[in-house]
Amino acid sequence: MNLWNDLLGNLAVVAIGTSLWTFCNQWAARRSSSLSTVLLSLFMALGSVAVMLMPFELQPGVYLDLRYTFIAVAGYFGGPLAIAMPVVAALVTRYYIGGTGLWIGVFHILLTAVSVLTIRSLFSKRRSLEHGLFALTITVPFSGTVGFAYMIAPQRWPVVFESVVAPVAVALMVSTLISSLAIVQERRRRAVTNENLIYRAIIEALPDCLNAKDLNGRFIAANPATAELMHADTITHLLGKTDVDFYPPDTAREFRNVELEFLKRAEPITIEQRFTLPSGNETWLSTLKAPIRDEAGAVVGIVTHNREITAQKQVEAQLALAQQRLKEAVSTMANGLAMFDAEGKLAFCNRQYLEMFPLTADVRQVGVSLRTIIKAAIVRGEDPMVHGCEDTMIERTFAALLTVGVREMQLADGRWIETRTRQTAENGALVVFTDITHIKDAETKLQLQNSILTRLAATDALTGLANRRAFDEALIENTLESGRGGHDVALLLIDVDCFKAYNDTYGHQAGDVCLQSVASCVKNVAAAFPKAHVARYGGEEIAVILPNLDADGALRAGERICTAIRSAGLVHETSEKGIVTASVGVAMMSRRQGRRITDLIEDADRELYRAKAGGRDQVRIGGIPTSGEMVSVGVIAANSAT
């Protein structure tokens, strides 16, 4: 009986210590969580010392008490910081008391501390500490009595277990459970209090209106924002009143009808309400209504959350207007417009984009991948297929269209499309398609005209041969090429014999026709020589540049020109030949000579003078005697025969 009395005394100390901490914790928790932990450690340390000073004797020199409850509660709810003081106090007190079970007592104290901290670590990571109370109430009796097995002889275990260990274990279990539940209840109460304070602070600071009404529409609770919306001085002036006291009758009646309709269904609803304030300003509210139910589930009121969305509605109206204008602008723009997302899927396009690609307009729909569109364009013959793999072409076109920059492409029907790609904020691509066919046509025509102008700028208008400017450029180019390649270049200067007399006799118009005929003869002969260049050198003189030709070849070319002009048979009564003839001077240039262009021209001009002085209608080259006399005699003979 004394054992149970001593245990009850220990239980009383546990209850008192827990109650004192619960009472003081209300004060400490308002200041800091650290102070609450320190107080828990202090009270549990004092409780440990108190029960150790009220032990019951198991055997001579061996005492039992409920110190492990205080250690367990401090460690489980306060952690390592809170358990330190009770453990130290228990160890010091146990050492002070002494006795034969000193080291077993120390072992029990340390085992309890380690076990409790282990359980706390497990349950604080996975779930709340409340879910670990069962494990705690089982562990404490075990860690507080397991050492008895080493103190008592095995043959006495059944007796001691029934008479001592079991009551102590039950007492430890009960005391730990009672103390833990009390602390849990205090933590819940404090959490609820804190939540209420937080909710109250939130509700009062909430810029939106939050209020509650009874079934008759009277305000029973409200926050300051509601009072401000209702133009009430304070929240107190709202309580007990209805919307009729603050709004025009029509507006108040409309609000009440919404509440009555809501009470029929008693389910949360969200609606938008528009009304006019007494000041005349139009106001929009986004309203959430939810039922207030009693414990039996019956509806006893309405909680309402109002958020003014007037500014939002104005912005929405402006946005809708802007979107409509943008839609009209996009739909009427001349260019095609397509927007693709980060995955290359079509997100938006206008009508012009579809009209540009009539063969695949049905494929170019929102959500379709650009790869699918490109493949359809190839299959249906809208996009010309180039040589190579179709998949490679699809990937190349896909990458090009989604890459920032400007690109031109020609469709199978001949149209040219320019694409301008810009990256969007969502890593997509905005592509503008412009039909530039007319620009391309204009560019082609312009290139053709430029080519014609270039050709005209280098052409003699009368003879159709290259002009002096083109001749100079060609001569420079050919002489430079001769220097690089080491081959010869022949220059032939051709002059119509007695041309002034021809003009005086037949007139300048006939002279022009004569020059055209001579030019044609020269051109026909020069056509047989690759890269030959024929130009009107000036007046009745014609120059021929013959690359890659030696002196013998150049001489034969000159003779062929003379023969061709004689063969034309143009009558020239004032010439001793009776027909139009020409004299040819030939000059040669090679890399070995190292001569200048001016030297070449002077040589050709000198040889031409020699041909004239030697009787005309002949070829002279670089001071080498020619068969000029023979040619001249032949021509005279031919004329006599004629």
Tokens representing residue 189 in the block? 């109460």
Number of Cβ within 10 Å of residue 16's Cβ equals 13
Kindly tell me if the per-residue pLDDT of 92 is higher than 50.
yes
pLDDT at 635: 32
Residue by residue, DSSP assigns 562-596 as HHHHHHT--B-TTSTTSB--EEEEEEEE-TTTT--
- Name the band, by pLDDT with cuts 50, 70 and 90, for residue 632: very low
Question: Contacts by 48-52 with C-beta closer than 8 Å and gap 24+?
Answer: 48/86, 48/89, 48/90, 48/93, 49/89, 49/90, 49/93, 50/13, 50/17, 51/10, 51/13, 51/14, 52/90, 52/93, 52/94, 52/97
pLDDT at 581: 95
Amino acid symbol at 98: G
- Name the band, by pLDDT with cuts 50, 70 and 90, for residue 6: low
Which residue's structure tokens are 């730990």? 176
Tokens representing residue 299 in the block? 């509806």
Kindly tell me if the per-residue pLDDT of 39 is higher than 90.
no
- Name the band, by pLDDT with cuts 50, 70 and 90, for residue 10: confident
pLDDT digits (tens, 9 = 90+) for 532-559: 999 999 889 999 999 988 899 999 999 9
pLDDT digits (tens, 9 = 90+) for 345-383: 998 888 888 888 999 999 999 999 999 999 999 888 888
pLDDT at 639: 30
Which residue's structure tokens are 């041909």? 611
pLDDT at 628: 38
pLDDT at 321: 76
pLDDT at 491: 94
pLDDT digits (tens, 9 = 90+) for 196-234: 777 777 777 777 888 899 989 999 888 888 888 888 888
Residues 581 and 158: their CA atoms lie apart, in Å, by 154
pLDDT digits (tens, 9 = 90+) for 389-444: 788 888 888 998 889 999 988 888 889 999 999 988 888 899 999 988 888 888 88
Closest residue by Cα to residue 627 from 616, 636, 618, 635: 618
Sign, CA dihedral 581-582-583-584, equals negative
Average pLDDT, integer, range 470-488: 82
Kindly tell me if the per-residue pLDDT of 528 is higher than 80.
yes
Q: Give 4 or 201, the one with higher predicted confidence.
A: 201
Q: Give 409 or 128, the one with higher predicted confidence.
A: 409
Kindly tell me if the per-residue pLDDT of 125 is higher than 70.
no
Residues 522 and 535: their CA atoms lie apart, in Å, by 10
Tokens representing residue 503 in the block? 């003009």
pLDDT at 183: 80
pLDDT digits (tens, 9 = 90+) for 510-526: 999 999 999 999 999 99
Kindly tell me if the per-residue pLDDT of 633 is higher than 60.
no
- Name the band, by pLDDT with cuts 50, 70 and 90, for residue 509: very high
Give per-residue burial for 396-435: e unless 16+ CB within 10 Å, then b.
Answer: ebbeebbeeeeeeeebeeebbbbbebeeeeeebbbbbbbb
Tokens representing residue 210 in the block? 């939050």
pLDDT at 636: 28
- Name the band, by pLDDT with cuts 50, 70 and 90, for residue 120: confident
- Name the band, by pLDDT with cuts 50, 70 and 90, for residue 624: very low
Tokens representing residue 158 in the block? 């059944």
CA 229 to chain centre: 44
Closest residue by Cα to residue 303 from 233, 208, 237, 232: 208
Residues 51 and 30: their CA atoms lie apart, in Å, by 30
pLDDT digits (tens, 9 = 90+) for 298-334: 999 999 888 888 888 888 888 877 777 667 666 667 7
CB 371 within 8 A of CB 392: no
Q: Is 455 exposed, middle or buried (0-12, 13-18, 19+ CB in 10 A)?
A: exposed
Residues 428 and 419: their CA atoms lie apart, in Å, by 15
Number of Cβ within 10 Å of residue 616's Cβ equals 22
Residue by residue, DSSP assigns 373-423 as HHHHHHHTTSSPPPSS-HHHHHHHHHHHHHSSEEEEEE-TTS-EEEEEEEE
Q: Assign 86 to helix, strand or coil.
A: helix
SS3 track for 108-173: HHHHHHHHHHHHHHHHHHHCCHHHHHHHHHHHHHHHHHCCHHHHCCHHHHHHHHHHHHHHHHHHHH
Residues 186 and 177: their CA atoms lie apart, in Å, by 14
Tokens representing residue 116 in the block? 């409790």
DSSP letter assigned to residue 207:
S
Residue by residue, DSSP assigns 479-515 as HHHHHHH---EEEEEEEETTHHHHHHHH-HHHHHHHH
- Name the band, by pLDDT with cuts 50, 70 and 90, for residue 610: very high
pLDDT digits (tens, 9 = 90+) for 252-274: 888 888 888 888 888 888 888 88
pLDDT digits (tens, 9 = 90+) for 129-168: 777 788 888 888 888 777 766 666 666 667 667 666 777 7
Kindly tell me if the per-residue pLDDT of 97 is higher than 70.
yes
Q: What angle do CA 261, 264, 268 make, to 5 degrees?
A: 80
Average pLDDT, integer, range 489-501: 93
CB 606 within 8 A of CB 622: no
Residues 321 and 309: their CA atoms lie apart, in Å, by 18
CB 74 within 8 A of CB 120: no
Q: Give 639 or 599, the one with higher predicted confidence.
A: 599
pLDDT at 18: 77
Mean pLDDT for the chain overall: 82
Kindly tell me if the per-residue pLDDT of 492 is higher than 90.
yes
pLDDT at 523: 93
Closest residue by Cα to residue 514 from 539, 550, 531, 478: 539
Work out whether strand 541-547 and strand 533-538 pair parallel, antiparallel, or are unpaired: antiparallel
Which residues, 6 or more positions from 416, have their beta carbon under 8 angstroms from its beta carbon?
408, 409, 410, 435, 436, 437, 439, 440
